[in-house]
Structure 1
């Protein structure tokens, strides 16, 4: 039988190999952003930084307008995350802590809606946005999918574990439902809120199909749509593409790390105080 030190060595080796495999695509993208387009598929592959980073970023800015595209993505993703998190948490709180007729049926319909292919909703959603005159606007990018079924499901499962006795104690003390929700329930749901916020932000930041259909003006492009415009029919400048991928990855990492710290602190602390 394998002794404990040897077993730990194999475990650490497996973790190191897994980390290298997971991080190598990001490293390759960053290396590609610093080299010329032709070096991306050279043999042997180029794995050291080059001196073309400023050139690639300058060309990328001329092609898509980095500032405008970055603002669109940040504004849409941040606004969507805040509103969708609030809506999803309210809906989950109602499903978890209130008793009303048809509650289980409505929640089942929410779960079934998760099985409907996203592409099946594109045409009716597009016609709805067109009838409202919201095409090429931020409303068309933010408002759809605010009541995201998976976010509601995730928050509901966490709220089911919240003690009903604390809610009843708040009501006995004369607190209204809004005060109970904001002062008692939400402070104890920080880990769940952080996890749901990360999911919602990444979903909206990486959303490609709907922004591609909902907006046609380059001034309204988000990062995935803008990067797709770099793939022409003849020549593709992979230096620009990798520079754009690297820039687009930074906000996701920052957002994740910021909420991860809050998530860990909430997990280490007491969920109910």
Structure 2
């Protein structure tokens, strides 16, 4: 009986937390179908009193939403694919090869996760300026090619792969690149999906770095583009909510399609040494 009461209380608490978390998104979604006068009114209602779709139609009146959306999709996918590859190959080397200084190198990788991002932003910005990469996608892609978190996750995951499979492949004459691409990568798909979801989310929502290094509006990303809805004297909140609602669709789709692999990858990486 005591266990049942505890279970009910825990489920009730989780339900309350879930409602508190989801409610702002639901309110934003319904507000995207409201007129600005209704959004700014003192008396608020969750459902629109007058249902309109003009906010979705008029988004491009403020900025080129489609262009920014496509820019974000391309940059986010490119960075995510690069991070997946570099994290997996580094995790493979650190987990399956024994060489002098391996633990020191892995410790250095872990240390990059402990340094606050605000500490590295100034030297990284100075380097981008020195290399002449300002207002270029190189400034977004190259600094993000390696992820300490991704390398840590993949090392933990690949450590669980049986060494006998790799040794058998070597006996059959397979070289290391063949082993990595044909054996390690397919067997690490759960960990890869976990890294992909995290990296996609981080890159998609990144605001400060694109805001600093990209000045050409045609090259800008969606997270920064949404700020352009804030006018000098007024803000079109209806169109802003409509654009924001569309901007979260890719992240939701990625998680919904790959949630099983994501959970499996997190669980496997958490328990392996």
Taking structure 2 as the reference length, what is the TM-score of the superposition?
0.89
* Structure 1 Cα separation of the partners of residues 12 and 60 of structure 2: 41
2:178 is aligned to: 179
Q: 1:22: Cα distance to partner?
A: 2.4
Is the aligned partner of 1:150 residue 2:149?
yes
In 1: Cα distance, 2:146 partner to 2:265 partner:
25
- Distance in 2 (CA, whole Å) between partners of 1:73 and 1:52 is 30
- Change over 3 Å in CA distance of 1:46–1:88 after alignment to 2: same
Distance 1:34 1:89 in 2: 43
Q: TM-score, normalised by structure 1?
A: 0.89
**Structure 1 gap ranges (5+):** 268-273
Q: Map residues 11-90 of structure 1 onto 2, 5 A cutoff.
A: 11-49=10-48, 51=50, 53-90=52-89
Could you give the per-residue CA deviations for residues 112-159 of structure 1, whole angstroms, max 9, x where no partner exists?
122222122222222322233322222222221211111111111111
Aligned-CA RMSD value: 2.3
> What CA distance in whole angstroms lies between the structure 2 residues aligned with 1:65 and 1:238?
17
Alignment of 1:89-100 (within 5 A): 89-100=88-99
Q: Distance in 2 between matches of 1:217 and 1:53?
A: 33
Aligned to 1:131: 130
Counterpart secondary structure, 1:46: coil
- SS of equivalent to 1:257: helix
Q: 2:215: which partner in 1?
A: 216
Query: Gapped runs of 5+ residues in structure 2?
Result: 267-273
**2 CA distance for matches of 1:236 and 1:132?**
38
Q: Which moved more, 1:10-19 or 1:211-220?
A: 10-19
Q: Aligned runs of 1:248-259 on 2, under 5 Å?
A: 248-259=247-258
Whole-Å separation in 2 of the counterparts to 1:87 and 1:58: 41
CA deviations on 1:210-257 (whole Å, 9 max, x unpaired) are 000010111111111011222234312211221121011011111112
Secondary structure in structure 1 of the residue aligned to 2:73:
helix
Distance 2:50 2:137 in 1: 37
Runs of 4+ in 1 over 4 A off after TM superposition: 6-12, 50-53, 261-267
Q: Are the equivalent residues in 2 in contact too, given 1:35–1:50 (CA < 8 A)? A: yes
* Cα distance in structure 1, aligned partners of 2:115 and 2:197: 23
* 1:230 to 2:235 alignment: no
- Structure 1 position 28, deviation (Å): 0.8
* Distance of 2:247 and 2:69 partners within structure 1: 8
Which residue is equivalent to 2:163?
164
- CA distance change for structure 1 residues 265 and 99 in 2, over 3 Å: closer, same or farther? closer
Alpha-carbon distance in structure 1 between the residues aligned to 2:113 and 2:9? 40
Asked whether the equivalents of residues 33 and 52 of structure 1 are also in contact (C-alpha less than 8 Å), the reply is no
Cα distance in 1 between the residues matched to 2:217 and 2:52: 24
The range that moved more, 155-164 or 204-213, is: 155-164
Deviation of residue 266 (structure 1)? 8.0
Q: Is the 8 A contact 2:36 2:236 kept in 1?
A: yes
